[in-house]
Amino acid sequence: MSCPRCGYENSELARFCSNCGAELVRTTSEGEERKLVSALFIDVVGSTARADGADPEDVRDFLRRYHRPVLEQIKRYGGTIEKFIGDAVLAIFGAPTSHGDDAERAVRCGLDIIEAVRDLNAADPTFRLSVRLAISTGEAVVTLGGAHERGEMLATGDVLNTAARLQAAAPANRVVVGARTHAATQRVIEYEAMPAIKAKGKGVPLDAWLAIAPAAGQSALAPMVGRDAELKLLRDLFEKARRERRPHVMTVIGPAGIGKSRLTIEFLKAVDAAGGRTMRGRCLPYSEQAGYQASVEHIKELAGVLESDVPQAARAKVAEMLAALFPPEEVADIVRFVSLLIGLGIDEPVEMRQPLFYAVRRLIEAVSEEGATLFTFEDLHLSDASQLELLNYLCDQLRDVPAAFLITARPELDEKQPALDAGRLEHTKIVLEPLSADDSEALVRPLAPPENVPSLVEMAGGNPLFLEELAATQDAVVLPTNVHEAIASHIDALPQAQRT
Ligand SMILES: Nc1ncnc2c1ncn2[C@@H]1O[C@H](COP(=O)(O)OP(=O)(O)OP(=O)(O)O)[C@@H](O)[C@H]1O
Ligand SMILES: [Mg+2]
């Protein structure tokens, strides 16, 4: 079969690509799924007029400068580019992966794109870019598996048409949202009402709002409660690794919604505040990355590689990053091995995976030598064998550097093959227990009427996600989207087989 990463033809029995070392995944049955998504549609005002009679080079340069910040912001907020239609860009938030707050991500992304357009115009008064942008939230049918990469639409549904219609009627350089997006985000985004939009092909006029800015003092996250002991332990372990130059492996284990990601966010903030470096790596269920997911994220973040970069551009960034870290005689090899590992498909392949693993080890050592660094491997239960093997190799080989690994996973990590093996490194495992009744109460008090608090605390059994969901369903008129998203994002995190 051919390798999904480098295209090399392997024997039908091979489990790993003998070319680049990626795990060879047999094509799974591809299907469709109904999901709640937010569609963001953006188009240039007067683009035909601009292109008319213009020098093709100028048009291309204009498009490039306009697309760059648009694509960067979409990537930053975890959106997926659905397609380009002329100068227009359609992006989907919530597919293939739901994040739990996709409507909010789409709106924040829209606001930042408008900001970027303003910056472009301020930097070059002749640029005069003006855009229309709108966001709509609703059900869509989403293709599963790799169909999207092969050119099929990721999502289909009325929500896409609605986004396009709202967009066509949007005032220039503003963010317009539809009713469901508004309902899902009104706690965290400030809005201004605008007249309903009469759209072609729609019976009733569409309610619409103008997004102004993220609401002041509001955070999408409820204030952190409890977990003081866990957070302190993690911080102490990082400090110890830094002080003693002894890499430490920390694993945080717990079921869905118990607070692994939240604890990670707080820990990352603490490391930042203490002057440490942080590199996040996540094992996303549908990532396009075949193999080594979290490690690839580390490398791409270090090199500043964007999803929108073509392989040649990505390789140039990797080479530049590595040239700053390694002596000239070593650079060429490391660049090649790292580029192979992240699957750029440019370099001459290698027979064995060992040099690729060794290159990652050298990179982690060099980066940590510049400043104590925390590398996260989040949701490791979703990783494939290649990532686990690389991680086990690193645990076996790393010595005498101020680096630390934070691994988060659901308990099913224990069933993975190969098993996680911290090797000779110091290893601390934290099992996240349910929140205490007091902490549960503190979490839910700002979210629900006082008379409901005791029953919510009782029902949720100390699971913060359940607390949030239950509190939200009490206000079912305003919040169904959030609940829906929260549930969907947790289903996304399940292996395909368990998703029925
Ligand atoms: N200690 C806490 N204080 C306040 N809110 C919390 C706390 N822990 C978790 N939450 C909130 O509960 C929700 C679920 O938590 P989180 O996403 O961290 O769970 P998780 O363990 O990562 O779940 P999954 O296995 O699905 O990734 C989030 O909205 C999070 O912000
Ligand atoms: Mg999580």
pLDDT in tens, 66-88: 999 999 999 889 899 998 888 89
Angle ∠(467,469,472) on CA atoms, nearest 5: 105
Protein residue with least CA distance to atom 26, ligand 1: 256
Pairing relationship of beta strands 131-143 and 175-178 according to DSSP bridges: parallel
Specify the pLDDT at position 312.
94
Helices then strands, counting H and E runs in the chain, come out as 16, 13
For the stretch 321-357, pLDDT in tens is 999 999 999 999 999 999 999 999 899 999 999 999 9
Specify the pLDDT at position 214.
86
Is 50 exceeded by the pLDDT of residue 28?
no
260 lines ligand 1 (CB under 6 A): yes
Mean pLDDT, the chain, whole residue set: 87
Angle in degrees, 0-180, between the axes of helices 354-370 and 293-303, rounded to the nearest 10: 50
470 lines ligand 1 (CB under 6 A): no
Specify the pLDDT at position 480.
43
User: Smallest Cα–Cα separation from 241: which of 390, 364, 380, 388?
Assistant: 364
- In the three-class reduction of DSSP (H, G, I as helix; E, B as strand; rest coil), residue 2 is classed as strand
Residue type, 422: A
For the stretch 166-212, pLDDT in tens is 999 999 999 999 999 998 888 789 999 999 998 777 678 999 999 99
Beta bridge partners of 403: 373
Angle in degrees, 0-180, between the axes of helices 453-460 and 437-444, rounded to the nearest 10: 120
Percent of the chain with pLDDT over 90: 60
Is 60 exceeded by the pLDDT of residue 31?
yes
Query: Which sequence spans correspond to the domains of the chain?
Result: 32-214, 228-431, 437-498
Q: How confident is the model over 397-404, as a mean pLDDT?
A: 96
CA separation (Å) from 380 to 98, 254, 354, 375? 18, 12, 21, 13
Is 70 exceeded by the pLDDT of residue 488?
no
Specify the pLDDT at position 135.
98
The answer to whether the bond into 418 is cis (omega within 30° of 0) is: yes
User: Smallest Cα–Cα separation from 162: which of 98, 207, 104, 99?
Assistant: 207
Is 80 exceeded by the pLDDT of residue 367?
yes
Confidence of residue 154 (pLDDT cuts 50, 70, 90): confident
CA separation (Å) from 108 to 66, 135, 253, 397? 18, 11, 31, 42
Is 90 exceeded by the pLDDT of residue 439?
yes
Q: What is the CATH number of domain 228-431?
A: 3.40.50.300
32-214 and 228-431 share one fold = no
For the stretch 230-269, pLDDT in tens is 999 999 999 999 999 999 999 999 998 899 999 998 999 8
H-helix or E-strand spanning residue 64: helix 56-76
165 lines ligand 1 (CB under 6 A): no
- In the three-class reduction of DSSP (H, G, I as helix; E, B as strand; rest coil), residue 157 is classed as coil
User: Smallest Cα–Cα separation from 72: which of 29, 44, 109, 28?
Assistant: 109
Is 80 exceeded by the pLDDT of residue 482?
no
Tokens of 359: 């290159």
First to last CA, the chain: 29
305 lines ligand 1 (CB under 6 A): no
Q: What is the DSSP letter of 162?
A: H
Residue type, 421: D
Specify the pLDDT at position 500.
46
User: Smallest Cα–Cα separation from 448: which of 407, 479, 486?
Assistant: 479
Q: Which residue has the higher pLDDT, 432 or 142?
A: 432
Specify the pLDDT at position 146.
67
> Into which CATH architecture does domain 32-214 fall?
2-Layer Sandwich (3.30)
465 lines ligand 1 (CB under 6 A): yes
Q: Ligand 2: distance of its center to the CA of 129 in Å?
A: 39
Spatial separation of the C-alpha atoms in residues 322 and 151, rounded to whole Å: 33
Confidence of residue 491 (pLDDT cuts 50, 70, 90): low
